[in-house]
Structure 1
């Protein structure tokens, strides 16, 4: 009877204690998968593609204007990370197939890839091997542990972006005397000296910065980011996948860093030790160019059967089918490219368009009317139903909002209604607690289906339904083509009409309205309620067409106003009110003034209470003297007797012992001695000098008792 490979896997796993699976048994289950086979053809293809992309980036840096250079630097930095990915794989002999390629080719390619990154390949390779050997033999763990602890400390500090440079020093400052290491280091230093000299000679200092130093800084920042993300993954038992294009350009260098940082992970029990060894052995046989293929093969082979090995298996609990993955490959590239491209296009347009004041005026008009369309139309009339409007006004506001290029009325309103329903929670589409950037625009960059079930009232309107179906065409025409045609036909500036009246206007508007989700939820005061993060800020309202009074809006979302006072800057409120004078809008909803005045008073009292609590805490740090109610009481006759042995004065019917203060009195001893044994209240309060709070605090520390009321004759 024949047994299939799937059944073979099942049988072996049933026969063995999952926590005791050996590496030979694991390898036998994987040996039929070509994902773990080294291929010199694939290796050379990866090297050539990396070099081609690097060349493309350098050419782009040569051709781009100065304001677009950061794009080329970032691209070259990614490709330089690809060089590092190749070199890592070569250093671990998991790149070229040495059955078809001599071993010296593997070392030569690794060294050449390391040279422009200023890494000594052989030293790094030896250090990596030494780390593994010493770990298995339990030798010199303190030295390696210190290095890894130092690297982890840098990763966790605010200076995490220096972690890659720290690792560069770790690889370069190496004091072994092995002949191959010395030769490799000499080659590196000779290359660096010749390379820098030739660069300065042919392209000058600016060329050195432009074509090498800046891309190298970008490379270190990218690799520090990989290290930071992988460090966080190790803590949370997750794995973060970067966008496929980034993983492709970097040759999965982020996985290489994950491998290195996990080498010294210490096990707490036998199960974790088995898991860690299994990870290391699997990693050792996974070629860079087959990374995803190997991962899929592991999932297919083991499925849920590997779930019990040590609790955490290769690639973060393999048996749970990667449910802990953070997959950045789910980025919506169309929207992401649009959002980033609009900023780049704006910079390009401003730099290249001839100045024409008419075009800039058109740009401002387009910016303003689109902003009104979003805030008064999309937001208040459609999303919140804060008032009713005649169909011409609804169409008018809908078209104005369409030119803002922020989605259809239905999708915009569905997201916004969900934002109010689940504000500051994970179900909030643009939850500020996920970060300022996420609330501002990051949430738009993820692939997602907009749930419009909460906007059925809008879809029932045939005009809005038509707008929802044909929104992309309307938005492109109204947002970009229309201003270009106006500028071109009226004063011949088609180029400026597109870039200035179109791209610049819409980009600036979008980020101003994005501030409603980000800045208005993080900067300002909680005027009416503090159960949510929305804040009131006059300054933010200037950038957001009056939406900066956001605490009021989230507390009284049905109100057609944001700025509740007539003088609050809120153009949407003024427009809707003006339309109501002509019957074009009606049933304008307003909250009862009593409610928002009460809300203000409650928040004022909260702030007073919080301030009083702080004051009380601060007061505990100082000596304020014995409280009046705790002072003993004596008669006037007892006071006269005490005056014979102490220097006492009376102020506000309280006796103060000034024996040790006479010499420190700012007005001199004479004045104070004139009032010994007497009532100095009038002199203290202005007859001689009107004393300050400092003097009152000093008195509080030297008061000793109160006087009983004297009987009148």
Structure 2
């Protein structure tokens, strides 16, 4: 069930307000070059790190039969724990301000976000607001019109187009800088990330059920982290290229069930880009949307409030006006 007193909002622009990992302010394209004619400059450090990470994740798969079943369960649990730091935290709370959260929940989400290791809240939310404002243009950090590979991971392996920084600098991020929890997490991000993304998930299986540190590290830290990254990236790639567009057929973002399942509810992407401030990111509420379930639970214990929900009538009218007729 959705909370009874959600705030109703009017229909929003399909290019509303706000993704991701290893953001660096100095990662930009050669000046005055566009993606089609650009002198693409590879960031070899990121290439090497991503090759090592994915190689480690593939090796981790061979350890599954040799590890304790509790380690499998723990890895799945920690995957969801870290994912909420992105979906319920950096994305829906801080990037879109689609609901409000009291300090204990905001602090908890900041820790979960560090466990996901996709950059601190401020950087992630800043990139995501730029992505929504300038979606599928040179100013979009992961412009899907440059192809699947670029939208999925390639954007992290080359220097950013100058428009990303230039146009991104025009947006207002004062609310993020004014948030003490966001700035606390930013200040201590590296130690928090090392502790929560790598040390804790590795130590818990070793301490509580005798798993080897080797197995625990590769399964609960490396494999879990790598899958989490690719699940987030799939929103930028799969959900921007393939699927139905029942709300706005004029934009790239699409409804993609596979992404919805892997990214804990973030695959209703045509809806999300059409109504970006809706806290559930879909018209179906909590259905197939673990993140919405989490936010609703936080509402019932008094930690989340003022959730924004697009009225059903507005959704239906938008479907008739700009949808592709798929639902």
What interval of TM-score do these two structures reach, taking the shorter chain for normalisation?
A: 0.7 to 0.9
Give the 3 Å change call, closer, same or farther, for CA 345–587 of structure 1 in structure 2: same
- Aligned partners of 2:263, 2:151: CA distance in 1, in Å? 15
Equivalent of 1:495 in 208, 214, 231: 214
The match for 2:195 is 477
Matches within 5 A, 1:116-515: 326-328=38-40, 330-352=41-63, 354-448=66-160, 454-492=172-210, 493-515=212-234
The match for 1:119 is none
- Aligned partners of 2:146, 2:213: CA distance in 1, in Å? 41
- Aligned partners of 1:408, 1:533: CA distance in 2, in Å? 27
The match for 1:143 is none
The 8 Å contact of residues 202 and 221 in structure 2, kept in 1 or not, is answered as: yes
Please give the secondary structure, in 2, of the residue aligned with 1:403: helix
Q: How many residues align?
A: 286
Equivalent of 1:522 in 241, 250, 259: 241
- Aligned partners of 1:396, 1:503: CA distance in 2, in Å? 22
Match status 1:542 vs 2:254: no
Give the 3 Å change call, closer, same or farther, for CA 433–327 of structure 1 in structure 2: same
Give the 3 Å change call, closer, same or farther, for CA 461–525 of structure 1 in structure 2: same
1:32-80 deviation digits (Å, cap 9, x = unpaired): xxxxxxxxxxxxxxxxxxxxxxxxxxxxxxxxxxxxxxxxxxxxxxxxx
- Aligned partners of 1:373, 1:603: CA distance in 2, in Å? 33
How far does residue 323 in structure 1 lie from its aligned partner after superposition?
6.8
Matches within 5 A, 1:580-659: 580-603=299-322, 607=325
The 8 Å contact of residues 487 and 496 in structure 1, kept in 2 or not, is answered as: no
1:121-166 deviation digits (Å, cap 9, x = unpaired): xxxxxxxxxxxxxxxxxxxxxxxxxxxxxxxxxxxxxxxxxxxxxx
How far does residue 444 in structure 1 lie from its aligned partner after superposition?
1.2
Higher relative contact order (CA 8 A, sep 6+): 2
Give the 3 Å change call, closer, same or farther, for CA 543–323 of structure 1 in structure 2: closer
How far does residue 495 in structure 1 lie from its aligned partner after superposition?
0.9
- Aligned partners of 2:39, 2:268: CA distance in 1, in Å? 36
Give the 3 Å change call, closer, same or farther, for CA 397–568 of structure 1 in structure 2: same
Q: Give the RMSD, CA atoms, in angstroms.
A: 2.3
In our comparison, the structure showing a higher alpha carbon Rg is: 1
1:462-498 deviation digits (Å, cap 9, x = unpaired): 2211211322221121111111111221123211111
Give the 3 Å change call, closer, same or farther, for CA 385–476 of structure 1 in structure 2: same
Please give the secondary structure, in 2, of the residue aligned with 1:551: helix
1:639-680 deviation digits (Å, cap 9, x = unpaired): xxxxxxxxxxxxxxxxxxxxxxxxxxxxxxxxxxxxxxxxxx
- Aligned partners of 2:284, 2:80: CA distance in 1, in Å? 22
Please give the secondary structure, in 2, of the residue aligned with 1:362: helix
- Aligned partners of 2:291, 2:32: CA distance in 1, in Å? 47
Give the 3 Å change call, closer, same or farther, for CA 553–498 of structure 1 in structure 2: same
The match for 1:248 is none
TM-score, structure 1 as length reference: 0.38
Between structures 1 and 2, the one with greater helix share: 1
> Runs of 5+ in structure 2 lacking a partner?
1-30
- Aligned partners of 2:205, 2:325: CA distance in 1, in Å? 53
- Aligned partners of 1:547, 1:458: CA distance in 2, in Å? 22
> Runs of 5+ in structure 1 lacking a partner?
1-320, 609-713
Please give the secondary structure, in 2, of the residue aligned with 1:419: helix
How far does residue 352 in structure 1 lie from its aligned partner after superposition?
4.9
How far does residue 447 in structure 1 lie from its aligned partner after superposition?
3.8
1:502-555 deviation digits (Å, cap 9, x = unpaired): 000010111011101001111111111123101012333111211111111000
How far does residue 342 in structure 1 lie from its aligned partner after superposition?
1.0
How far does residue 603 in structure 1 lie from its aligned partner after superposition?
4.1
TM-score, structure 2 as length reference: 0.81
Matches within 5 A, 1:10-159: none
Please give the secondary structure, in 1, of the residue aligned with 2:308: coil
The match for 1:51 is none
Give the 3 Å change call, closer, same or farther, for CA 580–352 of structure 1 in structure 2: closer
How far does residue 341 in structure 1 lie from its aligned partner after superposition?
1.2
- Aligned partners of 1:323, 1:361: CA distance in 2, in Å? 48
Please give the secondary structure, in 2, of the residue aligned with 1:395: helix
How far does residue 584 in structure 1 lie from its aligned partner after superposition?
0.9
